[in-house]
Structure 1
Amino acid sequence: MNTLKNQTIIYDDACPMCTAYTGAFIRLGWLEKRLPFSRVSPELLQKIDVDRGRHEIPLFDPVSGQTVYGLDALFLIIGTHLPWLKPLLSNRAFRFFWKQIYWIITYNRRIIAGSRAHASGLDCAPDRNLTYRWMYILLMLALSSRLLWLTLAGSGPALAGIVPASIPLILSLLLGLIRKNDRLSWLGNWITVIFIFALGLYMLPVGLFSLVGITVFSQFMLWKRF
């Protein structure tokens, strides 16, 4: 098994997604070392581009002193372990597509996760980027609408309760838009929960129990983000 033994990936530990996929690299044996941003030493911070690292996850090699960032870092890890994928990973059209997905996720990762910075250590939260924030909101809106349409088309009368179930979600949106100073971030939080709500309805068996359960879970997620 090919393992990057020297490199250390430095991840946003306030982001559950970042924690999960970097942990998966370690468990799979694709990497040996990872380090959360909140525990990075001042000496290491001087060796990487911190501002770039807030937006593109750094993969630092202490032997060469070089750092690879973002999608290049992820593709390097994947390509090292799965060399047969290297031609695809180096394809310009393929890289362009996934670069856009990467930017959408990285600029909205705190919105997607509904997480906040740790009380101590470096906060590597990304900058606010209106373009990618709106791209994320519109993408989630399109996917949620499609999932809800497929669910309703397939179950029709059995999901008559979806209308009253959606009322608390709509009220949460309105309340957040009234009370929150950063309305765009709240809209991002809300559409994330709506997508989870729509995905749950699409995947779970249709019924009162599942509808109530998904609604309660969605409201809980919104409450945590409020």
Structure 2
Amino acid sequence: MKTLKNHLILFDEECPMCRMYTNAFVSTGLLDEDGRAAYQELPTQACPMVDRQRAANEIALVNQETGEVTYGIDSLFKIFALIMPFFGPLFRFKPFVWLMSKVYAFIAYNRRVIVPPAKGESYQFQPTFKLHYRIVYLIFTWLVTAYVLSAYTGLMYGLLPAGHPYREYFVCGGQILFQGLVITFVNRDKIWEYLGNMMTISFAGALLLLPAMLLSAWFSLSPYFYLAWFMAVAGLMLLEHIRRSKLLKIGWTLTITWVLYRIAVLFIII
């Protein structure tokens, strides 16, 4: 496999996803062994041409011979072109680059709520918060979660009454509004950060339901099996909500209302 020689990729030390995939670039030989570094720990004089704030938003790739710096999706395409050279023309096709830059930005500007820093944000340069990307993220996770739940509830026939086709969309959307109202009183400064984390938990829970849905396509299992699976996933979601609430330092109020909302909805449905 070819190696992109004399290039240095600058990743976000506080981002577990960034650490993971840049480490994969090095371990697979796409970059030199010393081809990655955290932008937070890099002395300013080492790469004076790097825009530190932009590097916090979009991963930077520095050509150490020419001083050229690329950011975001352009950095990734430059590396991917090594292992998929036949996609080179596609990686240079402007409409495709524009589209993928939006996908990249969608993930990059929400990465702190997808996988939050384990020790909080402690460095000077932090990713810029962009409200429209957070709103798009909330809408995306809401729609996907509601879609999966709508399909999953049918597997628990006899245990839950059949409802309106859009019931789960109202339930999931209602929780965003309800918890958004609560966090306004608890800690107004963390509204969007909390809602992003909350919907990541919901989205992850929906993904954990997919294996059971896959089993239903091959086996005829009791509705109680799917109920037990659902309860196990709900338990994991609760634990993750507690963990993330601690990281956000918002106390127990949001976890309590998160549980109470779900209990109230269950009583209404039943």
CA distance in 2, matches of 1:103, 1:112: 13
Return closer, same or farther for 1:140/1:119 CA change in 2, 3 Å cut-off. closer
The answer as to whether partners of 1:47 and 1:65 remain within 8 angstroms in 2 is yes
Identity across the alignment (%): 28
Given that residues 152 and 159 in structure 1 are in contact (C-alpha distance below 8 angstroms), is that contact kept between their aligned partners in structure 2?
no
Question: Does residue 9 of structure 1 match 2:9?
Answer: yes
Aligned mates of 1:118, 1:201 — CA distance in 2: 30
The answer to whether the aligner puts 1:215 opposite 2:234 as a matched pair is yes
Distance 1:110 1:183, change over 3 A: same
**Cα pair 1:110 1:125 within 8 Å, conserved:** no
Q: Take 1:97 and 1:159, find their aligned partners in 2: how far apart are those partners?
A: 44
Using the alignment, how far apart are the partners of 1:80 and 1:220 within structure 2? 41
What root-mean-square deviation, in Å, do the aligned CA atoms of Structure 1 and Structure 2 show? 2.7
Taking the TM superposition and a 5 Å limit, the aligned residue runs for 1:72-221 are 72-115=74-117, 122-153=123-154, 155-157=155-157, 160=160, 173=179, 175-181=182-188, 182-204=190-212, 207-221=226-240
Q: 1:176 to 1:218 in 2, by over 3 A?
A: farther
* Distance in 2 between residues matched to 1:145 and 1:101, nearest whole Å: 22
> Is there any run of 5+ residues in structure 1 with no aligned partner, and where?
none
Match of 1:4, SS state, is coil
Q: Deviations over 1:19-78 (max 9, x none)?
A: 111122122211121111232123225231111111110001221111111100000000
Number of residue pairs matched by the alignment: 219
The answer as to whether partners of 1:148 and 1:202 remain within 8 angstroms in 2 is no
Query: For the residues of structure 2 that align with 1:211 and 1:158, how far apart are their CA atoms?
Result: 15
Matches within 5 A, 1:49-60: 49-60=51-62
Say yes or no: does 1:18 pair with 2:25.
Answer: no
TM-score, normalising length: structure 2: 0.72
User: Which one is further off, 4-13 or 90-99?
Assistant: 90-99
